[in-house]
A and B are shown apart, each in its own frame.
Chain A
């Protein structure tokens, strides 16, 4: 067990080095004139020269790499061209809004995926199953930016049920910042009106963002459950006359958890991609909208910092999931 942990951590460190090398190559080696890119599209020759000097771009490549790693370790990702602030400050500021959106959408997606995936597996090849399979294929095929736009048109503009953009109504004073989550902070402040406002603003973007997660999870839960339901221990459970709840939830679903959790870790990449589009359409003040803005204004420092930070998070999440199950499932260590 300890050896496995050590080996898994060592691979992660190796991958971290690889990720740093790849972003370094992207940021400093491949562009013909990296200083030009880093200084931004509107910089003049002197500013470009200053950037060149400051970034040590006249040094040899290995020296530049060490300097790059040194800067990254200190959290120095340079200045954003559009906000004129250190990129890290921007990321820290915009992160909680994205986390709130992503977690809420995960909650919706996971619930939908598990409930309908289980039902579809129990009633395999029936009409419920067929509907579910088609809906999940649809969920994986709809472009998120398009769904976001149509949902906004329908529910906000035409029906007027939900607000069309942002985290709070314009002019509303945000609650004192405790967790950075609007729905929790407003509750902590005891302001129910603000809580309702925050929740209604959150629903539409979160539901749209949850679609691919729900679709992916539906397929995984359904397929895994189908495999489990044909196992002997389920037959035994049925023969003992256990209630359907005990058979399906306690016996079957529990065994379907590990592969689905791995899938959720891999799904993080999709969620971040989806958040970029959803935040852009719903003007959600998070990291996704910041990324979209950085891309459209060629804010190179910001793009590179986000690429690096998001990949590191992605790697750590998957590491945590792997390690968690080795702790939970004794069979894995035996391999």
Chain B
């Protein structure tokens, strides 16, 4: 069963029903997706889609504990925390998506070219990949963000740079076995160029693998992005980004727990959804693997 086939045959419901973990993951993901789409529409048509304006300052209501009027309380300038936590969903999701798209495009290209071409091309590309893998992810991302000045854009770029080598390695190892298949040789014999073989013959086969890996990685990417924002790189206040919100909550501890608890809950639930779906997808596509291990 291929992933694309599963989606075509509308088997998502079947996937969610396979195990309670899948169901939970899909449920949370659907919720976050709806919130994010609402955020996108709100952004495009410029209206406040959260219960209150997440940036509206109201000093008379500052640092209020959770209540009916403000279920998640208010922050140091009286902004409604529920609205801010909701507004954080589309921000985190769009950073994660951008990082993953960038990482998979670079990684897949490098992996396919290295695996298919072999020889010195392979050797050179993989040694470059190894150098990037020699850095702990967070440290390299922090160094890149710091070099370009920590903004949301540079941090997203930095994470893309950090994550692509994993895809390059994964894709390359798969390509090494695909390229010996008869249908690849047959396609070559029909007169297809190397480029055409890579795009038409090999890419479709590695694509499901990349999608599954990207889903499992999404949680990690999201946590890394939030972590960088927490360190002051990435999203800057007053942007309602979850990591940045937890950082600004630090100075208000231990008395104002809600400032940190709710943004972190958003982050944790979203990351959990991605992890569960990633695990489930792996079991679904490869039942022999018994369970998810990180490849």
B291, A226: Cβ atoms under 8 Å? yes
B267, A315: Cβ atoms under 8 Å? no
B257, A272: Cβ atoms under 8 Å? no
**Given the complex, which residues of A lie within 8 Å of B143, measured CB to CB?**
23, 26, 303-304, 307
Residues of A within 8 Å of B, CB-based: how many?
A: 65
B127, A14: Cβ atoms under 8 Å? yes
Q: How far is the CA of A124 from the CA of B257 in the complex (A)?
A: 39
Q: Which residue of A lies closest to B135 (CB)?
A: A311
B253, A149: Cβ atoms under 8 Å? yes
**A219-B291, A277-B230, A295-B233 known; A141-B135 Cβ under 8 A:** no
**A-B CB contacts (within 8 Å), total count:** 169
Which of the segments B8-16, B70-78, B219-227 contacts the partner chain?
A: B219-227
B290 within 8 A of A: yes
Q: How far is the CA of A292 from the CA of B228 in the complex (A)?
A: 10
Which of the segments B29-37, B175-183, B195-203, B268-276 contacts the partner chain?
A: B268-276
A54 CB, min distance to chain B CBs, angstroms: 20
Q: Which interface residue of A11, A268, A273 has the most chain B CB atoms within 10 A?
A: A273
Which of the segments A89-97, A98-106, A132-140, A247-255 contacts the partner chain?
A: A132-140
B144, A149: Cβ atoms under 8 Å? no
Return the contact of B253 from the options A15, A19, A22, A153 (Cβ within 8 A): A153
B279 within 8 A of A: yes
A307, B292: Cβ atoms under 8 Å? no
Q: Which interface residue of A140, A280, A304 has the most chain B CB atoms within 10 A?
A: A140
Q: Which residue of B lies closest to A157 (CB)?
A: B254
Q: Which residue of B lies closest to A223 (CB)?
A: B293
A284 within 8 A of B: no
Return the contact of A30 from the options B148, B243, B289 (Cβ within 8 A): B148
A86 CB, min distance to chain B CBs, angstroms: 19
Q: Which interface residue of B232, B267, B271, B293 has the most chain A CB atoms within 10 A?
A: B293
**Given the complex, which residues of B lie within 8 Å of A292, measured CB to CB?**
231
B112-162 with Cβ < 8 A to chain A: 127-128, 130-132, 134-140, 142-144, 146-148
B49 within 8 A of A: no
Known: A19-B134, A153-B253, A223-B290. 19 other contacts (CB 8 A): A15-B131, A22-B131, A26-B144, A137-B279, A145-B227, A146-B267, A149-B249, A149-B264, A153-B257, A219-B292, A219-B294, A227-B290, A263-B294, A269-B135, A269-B137, A276-B231, A292-B231, A307-B135, A311-B140
Return the contact of B127 from the options A15, A137, A157, A226 (Cβ within 8 A): A15
Q: Which residues of A come within 8 Å of B, CB atoms?
A: 11, 14-15, 18-19, 21-23, 26-27, 30-31, 37, 124, 133-134, 137-138, 140-146, 149-150, 152-153, 156-158, 164, 216, 219-220, 222-224, 226-227, 263, 268-270, 272-273, 276-277, 280-281, 291-292, 295-296, 298, 300, 303-304, 306-307, 310-311, 314-315
Return the contact of B272 from the options A138, A269, A272, A300 (Cβ within 8 A): A138
B120 CB, min distance to chain A CBs, angstroms: 14
A142, B268: Cβ atoms under 8 Å? yes
**Given the complex, which residues of A lie within 8 Å of B144, measured CB to CB?**
26
* 23 interchain pairs, CB-CB under 8 A: A15-B131, A19-B135, A137-B275, A137-B279, A141-B219, A141-B223, A142-B272, A143-B243, A145-B243, A146-B268, A157-B253, A220-B294, A223-B292, A269-B138, A270-B136, A273-B224, A281-B250, A295-B142, A295-B232, A295-B233, A303-B143, A307-B139, A314-B136
**Given the complex, which residues of A lie within 8 Å of B127, measured CB to CB?**
14-15, 18
B235 within 8 A of A: no
Q: Which residues of B come within 8 Å of A, CB atoms?
A: 21, 127-128, 130-132, 134-140, 142-144, 146-148, 219-220, 223-224, 226-227, 230-233, 243, 246, 249-250, 253-254, 257, 260-261, 264, 267-268, 271-272, 274-276, 279, 289-294
**Given the complex, which residues of A lie within 8 Å of B243, measured CB to CB?**
143, 145
A295, B146: Cβ atoms under 8 Å? yes
**A26-B147, A150-B260, A295-B146 known; A18-B253 Cβ under 8 A:** no
A9 CB, min distance to chain B CBs, angstroms: 14
Q: Which interface residue of A27, A30, A220, A223 has the most chain B CB atoms within 10 A?
A: A223
**Given the complex, which residues of A lie within 8 Å of B132, measured CB to CB?**
22
**Given the complex, which residues of B lie within 8 Å of A137, measured CB to CB?**
21, 272, 275-276, 279
A138 CB, min distance to chain B CBs, angstroms: 6
**Given the complex, which residues of A lie within 8 Å of B231, measured CB to CB?**
276, 280, 292, 295-296
B128, A145: Cβ atoms under 8 Å? no
Q: How far is the CA of A219 from the CA of B275 in the complex (A)?
A: 13
B134, A311: Cβ atoms under 8 Å? yes
A27 CB, min distance to chain B CBs, angstroms: 8
Return the contact of B254 from the options A153, A227, A291 (Cβ within 8 A): A153
B268, A143: Cβ atoms under 8 Å? yes
**Given the complex, which residues of B lie within 8 Å of A222, measured CB to CB?**
291
Q: How far is the CA of A164 from the CA of B261 in the complex (A)?
A: 17
A19, B131: Cβ atoms under 8 Å? yes
**Given the complex, which residues of B lie within 8 Å of A30, measured CB to CB?**
147-148
Q: Which residue of B lies closest to A318 (CB)?
A: B134
A314, B219: Cβ atoms under 8 Å? no
**Given the complex, which residues of B lie within 8 Å of A157, measured CB to CB?**
253-254
Q: How far is the CA of A22 from the CA of B231 in the complex (A)?
A: 23
**A140-B275, A273-B139, A296-B232 known; A18-B134 Cβ under 8 A:** yes
Q: How far is the CA of A23 from the CA of B291 in the complex (A)?
A: 38
Q: How far is the CA of A21 from the CA of B264 in the complex (A)?
A: 37
Return the contact of B246 from the options A146, A223, A268 (Cβ within 8 A): A146
